[in-house]
Each structure stands twice: as C-alpha cells, then as structure tokens.
C-alpha cells in the first residue's frame, strides 16, 4: 500500500509541473549563421506589461548563455504569442458500486472532480530571419499557470518555460 501511495504521489507531482513542448524548424536552414538577435519590434505577446518584461528578461539571459548577442541590427527576431486556457480540473476520484450473485454482476461507476478549473499558458516562440523575413524556428510550450502568483513565482515560471522551450535551439545538424 505504501508503494502505491508513493507511485500516485509521484505521478501527480510530475503531471502538475511538466512543460509540454513541441518544436518545428526549417530543415534546410543553416542555423550557425545566426549570432545576434532582437525582439520583434511590434510584439503583441498577449501578456500584461510586467509579465512581458519578465519574459524578455529571462529570454535575454538564456540567449546570452547560449552565446547569442542582442543587437540593433540582428540576424533573427524573436517574437512571442500567448494563449491562456482554462480547463476543468484534471484530477478526480473514481467511485464505483457493484454487486451480483449467481455469476451475474452489475456495476456503476463515475468520477468526482477535485479542485476548480486549471489555467494553462501556451507560449509560442517564433524565430524570424530578418533578411529573408521568414520564420525559421518555432517552439510551442504549455505549462500550468497561476495568474495570482507572486512576482518571484511568475519570474520562476517564465524561467522554466523559456529554458524548456529553447533547449533544442539551435537545432543540431543531421549527419
């Protein structure tokens, strides 16, 4: 019983904190030519000004750690778009009642949701080649978001989602 409880606790912990991320990019593009970046001049991220400032600050730190330099004449523009989704609670308790005799059984089951709706932030990051004016790389990440969180918690949220989103940038060349 102890192991089952621990297993369900770990599954719950992992499912609540994970960031689901997908990537897409132009396979013909040589990403080694990109050394400098800037944020898209007419960005409309969908975030409030404070959260957008946090997102840009965290992205600058991650890009610098990857060896990129912010520039007035960049090789690529970085653009952000967000969508906030509310979903019913994904956690529930299963309830079942059954009975029977003589080799015949009848059962009824259902689930009861636990907690209220959950909020998820979907963040799309586009990398656009400035000279060609073409998108060359994109990541879409989704993570549970707490709109009433403290400023430090929100910064930590953006840190985690950006690190996860940019972990596969630049894409490795296939041999």
Span 128-156, pLDDT tens digits = 999 999 999 999 999 999 989 999 999 99
* pLDDT of residue 127 exceeding 50: yes
Each residue of 59-110: pLDDT tens digit? 999 999 999 999 999 999 999 999 999 877 666 677 677 777 777 777 776 7
Is residue 22 classed exposed, middle or buried when 0-12, 13-18 and 19+ CB atoms within 10 A define those classes?
Answer: exposed
Distance in angstroms (rounded) separating the CA atoms of residues 75 and 134: 12
Position 32 pLDDT exceeds 90: yes
How far is the C-alpha of 20 from the C-alpha of 137, rounded, in Å? 17
pTM of the predicted protein model: 0.74
Q: Please state whether beta strands 104-113 and 92-101 pair in parallel, antiparallel, or not at all (unpaired).
A: antiparallel
pLDDT given for residue 102 in this prediction: 72
Q: What domains can you pick out in the chain, each with its CATH number?
A: 19-87+119-169 (3.30.160.670)
pLDDT band at 113 (very low <50, low <70, confident <90, very high): low
Average pLDDT, the chain: 85
pLDDT at 13: 40
Give burial (CB, 10 Å; 0-12/13-18/19+) of 20: exposed
């Amino acid at each position: 019983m102890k192991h089952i409880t621990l297993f369900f606790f770990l599954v719950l912990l992992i499912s609540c904190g994970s960031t689901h991320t997908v990537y897409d990019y132009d396979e013909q593009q040589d990403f080694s030519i990109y050394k400098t970046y800037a944020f898209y001049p007419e960005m409309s991220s969908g975030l409030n000004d404070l959260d957008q400032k946090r997102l840009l600050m965290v992205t600058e730190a991650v890009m610098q750690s990857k060896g990129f330099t912010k520039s007035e004449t960049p090789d690529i523009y970085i653009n952000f778009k967000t969508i906030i989704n509310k979903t019913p609670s994904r956690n529930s308790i299963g309830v079942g009642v059954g009975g029977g005799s003589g080799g015949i059984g009848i059962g009824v089951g259902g689930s009861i949701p636990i907690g209220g709706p959950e909020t998820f932030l979907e963040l799309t990051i586009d990398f656009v080649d400035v000279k060609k004016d073409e998108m060359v790389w994109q990541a879409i990440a989704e993570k549970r978001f707490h709109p009433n969180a403290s400023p430090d918690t929100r910064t930590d949220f953006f840190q985690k989602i950006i690190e996860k989103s940019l972990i596969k940038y630049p894409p490795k060349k296939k041999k």
